[in-house]
Structure 1
Amino acid sequence: MIPLLSVQDLSVAFRQGGRETLAVDRISFQIAKGETLAIVGESGSGKSVSALSILKLLNYPSAHHPSGKVMFNGQDLIAADEDAMRKVRGNDITMVFQEPMTSLNPLHTIQRQIGEILELHKGLRGDNARARTLELLALVGIRDAESRLEAYPHQLSGGQRQRVMIAMALANEPELLIADEPTTALDVTVQAQILKLLKELQGRLGMAMLFITHDLGIVRRIADRVCVMLKGQIVEQGPVGAIFGNPRHDYTKRLLAAEPKGRPAPVAEGAATLLEAGPMKIWFPIKSGFLRRTTGHVKAVDGITIRVREGETLGVVGESGSGKTTLGLAILRLISSEGPIVFLGDRIDGLASAAVRPKRRDLQVVFQDPYGSLSPRMSVAEIVAEGLTVQQSGLSYAQRREIVARALDDVGLDPSAMDRYPHEFSGGQRQRIAIARAMALDPKFVVLDEPTSALDMSVQAQIVELLRDLQARRKLGYLFISHDLKVVRALSHRVVVMQNGRVVEEGPAEEIFARPREAYTQALLAAALNLEPVGVAAVRE
């Protein structure tokens, strides 16, 4: 049987400053029609570079191919000219990227962006294009799709933006879909919906998928075969059942053993309350008409009450748009809210910005994206010391350097690297830098907003261990926001489940995971912890 895609002995090298770096080293794999092949490996292993090579989306001529072919339907794409590649891209082969904010045009509405694809490849315009756009948005699970047509990317949640990207990729019913971490930004229920949708489309269209991910649970559920990459080479490949059941390579064994494990240290009896908030209310007005009158409200947070003690982690889970991040930002006084917020015995909800500033030493945050939250123009020392210059302005240069060195050592980084810049570090190291920045001020309470979602499984486990260790040593209180329930379980003492701005269930983490009472919580857990395969091979059986 002739494969749909055959990558043969492919190498990718980059030229920079007279030097040449080999990123991919003589890899080979095949994908048949209707089949899903997953490529797994840590950041920097060459997964995305391999995928981008198929569509020749690398930065040529600095990137080149010392060896290899990419055969698609009998055509060598490496040797194809740009005109031939334009016919393939977006039509026969499409791609979904990891970060939708960098892939969607911020100046165009969702309808226009999907409509451009339909017009270019299918010749659809006007009402026909609108109808097909609505159909695609509904397929990828966007509720009330008609009201989203005129929305811009910044008006959608991260999960909604990724769903729009998937809708655009599927618009022309491609033969091959390349999905580069397509569910990283999605909550578990939407992730399950997207995987089910992709499987259904495979069955209807005979579409093949090349699926790049660091989530081995997804690989187990959706893939037929898997390639494991390490330092630009494929070190092991084969059927999913064989790789997961009997891995041969040591690196594959380490990857499979890398899921976050264990539980946090118990909260001490009589631990003091660090933060108590609520009932909290955050409603955003919906304005319409020529006079921009308020016609309704988005109830982002609607009557929520929380409490966090010393040495305790409160996990906050729920789907995209449920209000998790809004709640965290309000507690930090980065957005306005109604309702009391008591921190270390003092009410901070009514304070002016100048009065809140001294308290920010004890209230810190670690954001989701370690790439976007660190300034590329500042050294690590400057980044970590930035809060010190505001909160402890009397410190000398040497004293600040000493505190930075201690903070970096605390998070497992070499203090001698403090004068390097963020781009010189891996994703996991950058997240450690972001944690060091928060810890440099010796805070009492930290909001962790999806701090592990963009990281490899092995790095996730390391960050969870680091956060638990810091908490135990410093008696830190965490508000841990995440859609990854395995990480939530490993880090949280108590869990709050949010839906549409409200708490639908809360309680001790073990109780929530073992005996969820509410149907919504049960659906979240089923989507996150279900390991039943959904790949086409399973369907054939």
Structure 2
Amino acid sequence: MTRSPLLSVQDLSVAFHQGGRETLAVDRVSFDLAKGETLAIVGESGSGKSVSALSILKLLNYPSASHPSGKVLFNGQDLIAADEDAMRKVRGNDITMVFQEPMTSLNPLHTIARQIGEILELHKGLRGEAARARTLELLALVGIRDAESRLDAYPHQLSGGQRQRVMIAMALANEPDLLIADEPTTALDVTVQAQILALLKELQGRLGMAMLFITHDLGIVRRIADRVCVMLKGKIVEQGPVAEIFGHPQHEYTRRLLAAEPKGRPAPIAADAATLLEAGPIKVWFPIKTGFLRKTTGHVKAVDGIAVTVREGETLGVVGESGSGKTTLGLAILRLISSEGPIAFLGDRIDGLTSSQVRPKRKDLQVVFQDPYGSLSPRMSVAEIVAEGLTVQAKQQSYAQRREVVAQALSDVGLDPSAMDRYPHEFSGGQRQRIAIARAMALDPKFIVLDEPTSALDMSVQVQIVELLRDLQARRRLGYLFISHDLKVVRAMAHRVLVMQNGKVVEEGPAETIFSQPREPYTQALLAAALNLEPAGSAAVRD
């Protein structure tokens, strides 16, 4: 490294103390970062990436966290040894941070103008019109259109991409020397993700700041970083220039990470495959009520006349940006929300049935949700979670019989049945998602809605879940409605693809045709952003 480092992390260790035990989360990590350079830290969840980044600004929960060893030198000053007054001068001025989820980072009770204004007042002494003018400059800088109209907006009134842009504006308010970005695009759609990455690169060039980028997505690293550190179990196992690490990885774990991308295609559909589900055109319109009397003045057309057919052993992939209506379509098909239009399962209409009439069919119609952390009750054991549907649908079974079914379901998804009496917090994210799949499979369903089942998982775990789902489908001739904004996963899972935008289908067809010869500009923009087919930031899908 020819330039003197702006940041030098030397033999940094981080330990957490709980219940008299000490756990080493980061073990003697060292790296340098020069002005104007982008360093990416990659690794799976729990590898120590975020803990290392938070240590730089001393944002860990002290004294339950400590640093048994190491220094963090920023412009020659050791931040680990600095007192709180010194750290306040660094935080928000010289070093700023953008977090993963803007909805939890922004105050829901304050307007955008107030939240950016607080930073300007605290660090720059700007108030009133001066603060307002600078806020407008920052919002324009990060690409928020018609910034004047957004000043009095609250976070919930902005899209995910707009909220993340606001977070970046707040981070850049004081023109920092170092920006730490901790998974800033994980929760965003592929098109918005591409825009945010392009924005960060452009602003870095304009302001000359260094950037420490934390991620588990190697595709992002390839696009944005100069150098990369690979972390495993609290240690850096390999580091170097991006081209070198990607082209000639030395460590087995790095090679495994680089290979961790869903590959292959689903098994062909059997010639005699029956039609499981035939629905549509389906409409789900949510009324917009205004005024004191709450009169309906319009509708949000979440799903607007969409037809769906799924056969035995077939996966229909449903893709599109957030708000396009993907999840609403899935919930409507399962009769979990009200909708208009025919829905037939195995030839029988279910759209006109009452909740009690639909209940017996629930065993054949299952769902796996996006978040394996939020969809499993922390108060129930794995056995209770997986057997929950059996207690409703198979009341004639004894306790022992239900335990047998649970054991088989866990075995089918690659989990040890002896762990069934443990609780969700004792499992990793990938294991929790397997538990969620086992819960659906315990009832031996015929059709499953999979709503973003891999988006909260590391890439290596994604590969495992995709292979598991394909294997279960091939063995049981399951029909899937696979909802996702991750087009690489969809390509590995789907026989056919339905592309949604604003509640409507803009393109539909065989997966290979959609991916190799997309007709519609919107589909082309989605594919370009997801598969890096052209420079980031397509004009077709701007915020």
TM-score, normalised to structure 2, is: 0.92
Deviations 1:8-37 (A, max 9, x none): 110011111111111111010011111111
Contact persistence 2:527–2:533 (CA under 8 A): no
Distance 1:87 1:21 in 2: 31
Query: Alpha-carbon deviation of 1:283?
Result: 2.2
Assess, with a 3 A threshold, how the Cα gap between structure 1 residues 318 and 252 changes in structure 2: closer, same or farther. same
- Counterpart of 1:538? none
Match for residue 17 of structure 1 among 19, 38, 43: 19
Query: Alpha-carbon deviation of 1:155?
Result: 5.5
- Counterpart of 1:342? 344
Match for residue 33 of structure 1 among 12, 32, 35: 35
Q: Aligned partner of 2:367: which letter? A: V
Contact persistence 1:173–1:205 (CA under 8 A): yes
Assess, with a 3 A threshold, how the Cα gap between structure 1 residues 532 and 299 changes in structure 2: closer, same or farther. closer
- Counterpart of 1:398? 400
Query: Alpha-carbon deviation of 1:210?
Result: 1.1
Q: Aligned partner of 1:465: which letter? A: E
Judge which range, 507-516 or 331-340, deviates more: 331-340
- Counterpart of 1:525? 527
Match for residue 363 of structure 2 among 358, 361, 365: 361
Query: Alpha-carbon deviation of 1:528?
Result: 1.3
Q: Aligned partner of 1:49: which letter? A: V
Query: Alpha-carbon deviation of 1:186?
Result: 1.3
Distance 2:99 2:417 in 1: 34
Question: Equivalent residue of 1:458, what SS?
Answer: helix
Assess, with a 3 A threshold, how the Cα gap between structure 1 residues 245 and 303 changes in structure 2: closer, same or farther. same
Question: Equivalent residue of 1:251, what SS?
Answer: helix
Deviations 1:30-63 (A, max 9, x none): 1111111111111211111111111112121111
Deviations 1:439-487 (A, max 9, x none): 1111111111111112111111111000100111111111111111111
- Counterpart of 1:231? 233
Judge which range, 506-515 or 97-106, deviates more: 97-106
Q: Aligned partner of 2:471: which letter? A: D
Match for residue 475 of structure 1 among 471, 474, 477: 477
Match for residue 377 of structure 1 among 372, 376, 379: 379
Distance 2:397 2:146 in 1: 54
Question: Equivalent residue of 1:329, what SS?
Answer: helix
Question: 1:382-531 counterparts in 2 under 5 A?
Answer: 382-530=384-532
Query: Alpha-carbon deviation of 1:357?
Result: 2.3
Question: Equivalent residue of 1:369, what SS?
Answer: coil
TM-score, normalised to structure 1, is: 0.93
- Counterpart of 1:3? 5
Question: 1:278-293 counterparts in 2 under 5 A?
Answer: 278-293=280-295
Distance 1:387 1:361 in 2: 8
- Counterpart of 1:277? 279
- Counterpart of 1:213? 215
Contact persistence 1:340–1:347 (CA under 8 A): yes
Contact persistence 2:161–2:196 (CA under 8 A): no
- Counterpart of 1:298? 300
Assess, with a 3 A threshold, how the Cα gap between structure 1 residues 511 and 90 changes in structure 2: closer, same or farther. same
Distance 2:14 2:244 in 1: 29
Contact persistence 2:528–2:534 (CA under 8 A): no
Question: Equivalent residue of 1:372, what SS?
Answer: coil
Distance 2:361 2:131 in 1: 53
Distance 1:88 1:314 in 2: 51
Question: Equivalent residue of 2:266, what SS?
Answer: coil
- Counterpart of 1:185? 187
Question: Equivalent residue of 1:169, what SS?
Answer: helix
Q: Aligned partner of 2:51: which letter? A: V
Query: Alpha-carbon deviation of 1:515?
Result: 0.6
- Counterpart of 1:333? 335
Assess, with a 3 A threshold, how the Cα gap between structure 1 residues 117 and 12 changes in structure 2: closer, same or farther. same
Judge which range, 98-107 or 203-212, deviates more: 98-107
Contact persistence 1:220–1:531 (CA under 8 A): no
Distance 1:211 1:478 in 2: 35
Question: Equivalent residue of 1:402, what SS?
Answer: helix
- Counterpart of 1:81? 83
Query: Alpha-carbon deviation of 1:150?
Result: 5.5
Contact persistence 1:35–1:207 (CA under 8 A): yes
Assess, with a 3 A threshold, how the Cα gap between structure 1 residues 128 and 495 changes in structure 2: closer, same or farther. farther
Match for residue 201 of structure 2 among 194, 199, 202: 199
Assess, with a 3 A threshold, how the Cα gap between structure 1 residues 227 and 429 changes in structure 2: closer, same or farther. same
